[in-house]
Amino acid sequence: DWSMANFIERSVEDIRKFVGKEHVVLGLSGGVDSSVAAALIHKAIGDQLTCVFVDNGLLRLHEREQVELLFRENFSMDLRVESQADLFLDRLKGIEDPEEKRKKIGNAFVEVFEMAIKKIGDVTFLAQGTLYPDVIESVSIDGNPAALIKSHHNVGGLPEKMRLKLLEPLRNLFKDEVRLLGRELGLPKDVLWRQPFPGPGLGVRVLGEVKEEYLEILRRADAILQEEMVTADFYYKVWQSFCVFLPVRTVGVMGDERTYDYVVALRIVESADAMTADWARMPHDLIRKISNRIINEVDGVNRVVLDVSSKPPSTIEWE
């Protein structure tokens, strides 16, 4: 695409001029925005960019490995992984309230990120994948007011506190333009078109208190759901599809045995902007397959339920 190639050329020049010989740090989540920002900035300044990926222990199955493979192996970026699952789980101990959990996770993230920057040393710029809709502070693309998004997505207050200058090369772009840019930069479809995933991750999909045992069950169930959605060619057609862990046990039978295990809910929604959403009418055979596989393959689950609520009044996430 001619105009996109042009945009890249101009951006690369601008970034080089703006950054000079200084060092840039970027918090890479693996989502569309930060991934495209990373690829663009890396194209411009190579090893003057360091990416930090925080493993908060609330990620999906193999999520961290996929980020490492793509950015470290394929793009040869300087990627630092902060493995801090224990710290996050520790902060979440005993916390049941959803907003309280978000706050704990957000604060822990800032703390870990700050530590990572100190380890890198001489950093002048903080890069962020801020898009135009985030800039105009109205309603963000994933349906939460920009003010709310900010408290979860961005490391609010950090730039001033650490005397960092902001580098936001996507701030004039919309989401669809960012996807085109990403494609031109060589990012794969599964990164550019992946479904939205909340900053607090599985932390708000394990209802109530977050425990490692619950996270493990959720990760395995969710991986089965995603795998079947991709195979049936529905993953990219719905807005989001994910599992929710319910810390409730129900009775079942397995052979001659009585079981008393947890419940997993399937949440699959259609939406244009996450402001409103409707539960997706999936083929019953697909739902049956997903349910059977989760119950048979995931220890600790003996019941799967389907969420048939629309937004409003229900939200997409359960917390």
> Using CB under 6 A as the criterion, which residues of the chain lie in contact with ligand XMP when the complex forms?
102, 142-144, 152-153, 196, 198-200, 240, 274, 311, 315-317
31 is in an annotated binding site: yes
| Shortest Å, Cβ 184 to ligand XMP | 26
29 is in an annotated binding site: yes
**By C-beta, is 133 or 200 nearer to ligand XMP?**
200
Q: Is residue 198 reached through a cis peptide bond, with omega within 30 degrees of 0 on the bond before it?
A: no
**By C-beta, is 143 or 169 nearer to ligand XMP?**
143
DSSP state for residue 232 in the 8-state scheme: T
| Cα–Cα distance measured from residue 12 to residue 68, given in angstroms and rounded to the nearest whole number | 24
**By C-beta, is 48 or 144 nearer to ligand XMP?**
144
| Shortest Å, Cβ 191 to ligand XMP | 17
| Shortest Å, Cβ 207 to ligand XMP | 13
35 is in an annotated binding site: yes
| Shortest Å, Cβ 200 to ligand XMP | 5
Tokens of 221: 């169930």
| Shortest Å, Cβ 232 to ligand XMP | 21
| Shortest Å, Cβ 96 to ligand XMP | 16
DSSP state for residue 59 in the 8-state scheme: P
| Cα–Cα distance measured from residue 259 to residue 300, given in angstroms and rounded to the nearest whole number | 9
| Cα–Cα distance measured from residue 60 to residue 82, given in angstroms and rounded to the nearest whole number | 16
**By C-beta, is 15 or 221 nearer to ligand XMP?**
221
238 is in an annotated binding site: no
The count of C-alpha atoms lying within 13 angstroms of the C-alpha of 267, restricted to the half-sphere facing its C-beta, is 23
| Shortest Å, Cβ 194 to ligand XMP | 12
Which residues have a Cβ under 8 Å from the Cβ of 309 and sit 6 or more positions away? 279
| Cα–Cα distance measured from residue 143 to residue 273, given in angstroms and rounded to the nearest whole number | 6
| Cα–Cα distance measured from residue 212 to residue 152, given in angstroms and rounded to the nearest whole number | 22
**By C-beta, is 150 or 249 nearer to ligand XMP?**
150
| Cα–Cα distance measured from residue 224 to residue 92, given in angstroms and rounded to the nearest whole number | 26
How many other C-beta atoms are found inside a 10 Å radius of the C-beta of residue 284? 9
**By C-beta, is 8 or 26 nearer to ligand XMP?**
26
33 is in an annotated binding site: yes
How far is the CA of 64 from the CAs of 56, 58, 176, 193, in angstroms? 10, 11, 25, 18
**By C-beta, is 152 or 211 nearer to ligand XMP?**
152
| Cα–Cα distance measured from residue 296 to residue 116, given in angstroms and rounded to the nearest whole number | 41
Residues flagged as binding site: 29-35
Residues flagged as binding site for ATP: 29-35
